[in-house]
Chains A and B, each alone.
Chain A
Amino acid sequence: MPIFPELRTAVRVETQNPWPRFLVDIASWRLAGAELAAGRWTLLGLWGEADTVHMAVLRGQNEAIGVLSLPCADRRFPALGARHTPAIRLERAAQDLFGLVAEGLPDARPWLDHGAWGVRAPLGRAEPVAEAAAPYPFLPAEGGALHQVAVGPVHAGIIEPGHFRFHADGETVVRLEERFGYTHKGTEALMRGADLARAARLAGRVSGDSTVAFTLAFARAAEAALGLAPPPRAVWLRALMAELERLANHLGDVGAICNDASFAIMNAHCAVLRERVLRAAAVAFGHRLMMDRVAVGGVATDLDATGAAAITAVVAAVRQRFPRLVELYDNTASLQDRVVGTGRLDPALARQFGCGGFVGRASGRDFDARRWPGYPPYGDLRFDVPVRAEGDVNARVWIRIGEIEASLGLIEQLLAGLPAGELRAPAAFGAEAEGVALVEGFRGDILAWVRLNADGTVARCHLRDPSWFHWPVLEAAVDGNIVADFPLCNKSFNCAYSGHDL
């Protein structure tokens, strides 16, 4: 039986690993849209190329992953967004970057293109633009007592830039509209023609707090394309770094969420723990965030006894102190009053958008890329994936608390079972090849798709941050909450600006 029996007319592209890519016609593209809209498939990503549009889909309940490619000679394709809302922003981005036209897209406004590039469709035809960009029309909300509150892109705190437009009825949010693209770095353009080392560095700079996860996603996609198997020690060290990154970020998040409810003492204690994890990472791998430590074919640094001891010490410290902080969180009535029931994300919406990470798992979507489709060494390790159904700020905090405990266990297993051996397998090039990978970052699953030229340089690379499917549902989760609770909801989602704007 074929993996995607629905796609009868599709032609499988033989150069892609490990999951199949199909060249489809418009009918199959529409059929895929119908499957997505019906909830039988989940959209994992959608990206463009000069004359092709691709989508990655997850079929059924973790049955199969595939990439569908629609050649669009006249640069037009039928918009999935017309029937499947989660695709809208991805299609708007593909329009902006490649000049493809998504026909029938309900929202045709630009998304990443703020008119500041000087060119239109920089990755497509790159036509120069002379006239100034038209002002961005925000969605209206009508009603006598409504007022607008515009926040950002410059904020009072030191955070990344993003614009939030609230329509509020007194304190109650009637509509929140986000606008992003302020941190667009042109990563996909820089990737074209880059060799593997440079491309891995670029991938590690898509989102600084997820640098290990992004580099790992890119490396795994490139290795799949090249048929390269990294040595076991490298695989285990990568997982160790990924879990340290998850641990540090979750510790920071738990404190920061409490801080947004003005409960600063949690933030102070969690920040100390996060700092200790980062320092241990610096001792073990030579960089606090472990940037550029994952390489295509393996890892760039080894772990010595001093590093292992530093990690063991920090795991013991977190194990000793964190439970008391959890108790403090759980027993502070004034804090619980703020987080319970706030910013509820409907499980149906989480399923429709395919929300990964703590956002999805707090709303009942039981998906973790480490477990399924899975990648080594997680098959040899025991860990729990916490799932809750409430979908509020409190649930997202508890998912993080559960994942901190799971990561501590994983780090201990990884240190105990770390195999000896080589750190890196040499890459051999020869033919054009494609690879795709799904890696669990701390925010959720990161999709990486890469096409390599015969000389080993990157022809096209697309990295999809989990926040592409978190930001839109944040708008929905905030609806009906009060304006003053938005920072709390926002922090509990902790979506990436940089990773999203690419």
Chain B
Amino acid sequence: MALIRAIAIQGLEMALVLALAPLLTGFVRKLKARLQRRAGPPLLQPYRDLRRLLGKEVVLADNASWLFRSAPYLIFATTWVAAALVPTFGAGLMFSWSGDLIVITALLGSARFFLALAGLDAGTSFGGIGASREVMIASLGEPALIMIVFTLALVAGSSQLSNVALFMLSASAGLRVSLALALFGLVIVALAENARIPVDNPATHLELTMVHEAMVLEYSGRHLAMIELAAFVQLLLYVSLIACVFAPFLLAPVHASAADYALGIAAYVGKLAAGGALLAGFETATAKMRVFRLPNLLGAALMLGLLATLLLFVSRTL
């Protein structure tokens, strides 16, 4: 009985993630448009886009291989599984014990690997440019993320996200400089990984400036729908990750009641909205960075992660 319940709750989490992800992106788009004095697309537009894309024919480049056709599903699957490992509204979900933060990092890394390969596969110059830029960003963003994971693991004594979240909820967490540094680092990595301003512009039509969009330029139909949905889920995943580590309040505990879960879901939606609003505000106030400046930004994230880890060791030995 407990097992069935655990599976049901985990299933609910995965469905919720999938259902909310387009809404979050739609919310950010709407908010950005309002901040720019535009009416903006309806909140539900991403869902309509997905439906439209799913109904469309797939146009493949002549020299696209099996990799190009299978990559969208691989990317979507790995991103979704990674999102299932994040305690979104409740700690101690069934899958969260099967993988920790390092697994999440690796899953997202493999999604990016497939995307970069698919970008190269079609053989267009834009795919190549996008893949090369993406890999440059990843080569700096991933180590930064790993350092941040180490910091959190050292603070909480576990790299399991559920344990980290529960530790953060407990009184022993307190205010720590290391955590502040890790938060800043994580925000930078999240912006870079989700192709947001100042790293990439999700709304641009300028082929030459694209990173993520350049890799997926050749995709159409259901393939594009899968990639778009994966991008929506990834944005939601990062907001959830930041929320569960740095704002874990009202997170349903292990063996929670139905009321706890309802409260957890309500709080989770609120956290997503807050994260989306912060993102929209930040993107409106900032221009995109020159491509060669990105190493400085991501290098800062890496340094923050490193400093956070070092500081922990120093403060412990003193």
Q: Which residues of A pack against B, CB within 8 Å?
A: 147-151, 155-158, 170-171, 258, 260-265, 267-269, 272, 332, 334-335, 337-338, 342, 482-487
Least Cβ–Cβ distance between A275 and chain B, in angstroms: 11
B287 contacts A482, CB within 8 Å? no
Q: Which residue of B lies closest to A171 (CB)?
A: B291
B288 interface contact, C-beta 8 A: yes
Which residues B273-290 have CB closer than 8 A to chain A?
Answer: 284-290
B292 contacts A262, CB within 8 Å? no
Q: Which residue of B lies closest to A170 (CB)?
A: B132
Which residues B194-220 have CB closer than 8 A to chain A?
Answer: 197-198, 201, 203-209
Residues of A within 8 A of B132 (CB): 170
B293 contacts A337, CB within 8 Å? yes
Residues of A within 8 A of B126 (CB): 149
A337 contacts B125, CB within 8 Å? no
Chain B interface residue count, Cβ-Cβ cutoff 8 angstroms = 31
Least Cβ–Cβ distance between B95 and chain A, in angstroms: 37
A268 contacts B208, CB within 8 Å? no
Contacts A157-B205, A262-B204, A268-B37 known; A148 to B125 CB distance under 8 Å?
yes
Contacts A264-B284, A334-B286, A335-B287 known; A151 to B293 CB distance under 8 Å?
no
Least Cβ–Cβ distance between A335 and chain B, in angstroms: 4
Least Cβ–Cβ distance between A143 and chain B, in angstroms: 16
Residues of A within 8 A of B133 (CB): 484
Other A-B contacts than A149-B208, A260-B206, 10 sampled, CB-CB below 8 A, are A156-B206, A170-B132, A262-B201, A264-B36, A272-B37, A332-B285, A482-B292, A483-B208, A484-B290, A486-B208
Which residues B19-45 have CB closer than 8 A to chain A?
Answer: 32, 35-38
Residues of B within 8 A of A268 (CB): 36-38
Contacts A149-B126, A149-B129 known; A487 to B209 CB distance under 8 Å?
yes
Which of B128, B205, B290 has a CB less than 8 Å from the CB of A156?
B205
Residues of A within 8 A of B291 (CB): 171, 482, 484
Contacts A151-B207, A156-B205 known; A338 to B36 CB distance under 8 Å?
no
B289 contacts A151, CB within 8 Å? no
Bound: A265/B280 CA distance, A: 12
Contacts A147-B125, A151-B207 known; A258 to B287 CB distance under 8 Å?
yes
Residues of B within 8 A of A155 (CB): 205, 207
B206 contacts A265, CB within 8 Å? no
Q: Which residue of A lies closest to B204 (CB)?
A: A262
Q: Which residues of B pack against A, CB within 8 Å?
A: 32, 35-38, 125-126, 128-129, 132-133, 197-198, 201, 203-209, 284-293
Which of A147, A157, A263, A269 has a CB less than 8 Å from the CB of B287?
A263
Least Cβ–Cβ distance between A263 and chain B, in angstroms: 4
Contacts A150-B125, A157-B205, A487-B206 known; A265 to B284 CB distance under 8 Å?
yes
Bound: A204/B284 CA distance, A: 38
Bound: A156/B218 CA distance, A: 12
Least Cβ–Cβ distance between B203 and chain A, in angstroms: 7
A-B pair number, CB within 8 angstroms: 84
Residues of B within 8 A of A487 (CB): 206, 208-209
Q: Which residue of B lies closest to A150 (CB)?
A: B125
Q: Which residue of B lies closest to A158 (CB)?
A: B205
Residues of B within 8 A of A262 (CB): 197-198, 201, 203-204, 209, 287-288
A334 contacts B128, CB within 8 Å? no
Bound: A118/B289 CA distance, A: 47
Q: Which residue of B lies closest to A262 (CB)?
A: B288
Residues of B within 8 A of A258 (CB): 287
Residues of A within 8 A of B198 (CB): 262, 334
B287 contacts A332, CB within 8 Å? yes
Contacts A265-B35, A337-B293 known; A156 to B287 CB distance under 8 Å?
no
Q: Identify which of A155, A334, A338 gathers the most chain B CB atoms within 10 Å of its CB.
A: A334
Residues of B within 8 A of A157 (CB): 205-206
B287 contacts A334, CB within 8 Å? yes
Residues of B within 8 A of A170 (CB): 132
Bound: A485/B209 CA distance, A: 7
Lowest 10 CB-CB distances: which A-B pairs, in order?
A: A262-B288, A157-B205, A268-B36, A263-B287, A335-B287, A262-B201, A334-B287, A487-B206, A149-B125, A261-B287
Least Cβ–Cβ distance between B192 and chain A, in angstroms: 14
Q: Which residue of B lies closest to A159 (CB)?
A: B205
Contacts A149-B129, A269-B37 known; A338 to B287 CB distance under 8 Å?
yes
B207 contacts A156, CB within 8 Å? yes
Bound: A337/B208 CA distance, A: 19
Q: Which residue of A lies closest to B200 (CB)?
A: A262
Bound: A264/B202 CA distance, A: 12
Residues of B within 8 A of A265 (CB): 35-36, 284-285
Residues of B within 8 A of A261 (CB): 287-288
Q: Which residue of B lies closest to A152 (CB)?
A: B207
Residues of A within 8 A of B209 (CB): 260, 262, 484, 487
Q: Which residue of A lies closest to B37 (CB)?
A: A268
Q: Identify which of A156, A267, A332 gathers the most chain B CB atoms within 10 Å of its CB.
A: A156
Bound: A486/B209 CA distance, A: 8
Least Cβ–Cβ distance between B301 and chain A, in angstroms: 17
Which of B35, B201, B203, B290 has a CB less than 8 Å from the CB of A482?
B290
A484 contacts B208, CB within 8 Å? yes
Q: Which residue of A lies closest to B217 (CB)?
A: A156
Q: Which residue of A lies closest to B206 (CB)?
A: A487
Q: Identify which of B35, B36, B203, B290 gathers the most chain A CB atoms within 10 Å of its CB.
A: B290
Bound: A338/B289 CA distance, A: 7
Least Cβ–Cβ distance between B107 and chain A, in angstroms: 29
Residues of B within 8 A of A171 (CB): 291-292
Bound: A149/B288 CA distance, A: 22
B125 contacts A338, CB within 8 Å? no
Bound: A263/B128 CA distance, A: 26
Bound: A42/B128 CA distance, A: 43
Bound: A258/B125 CA distance, A: 26
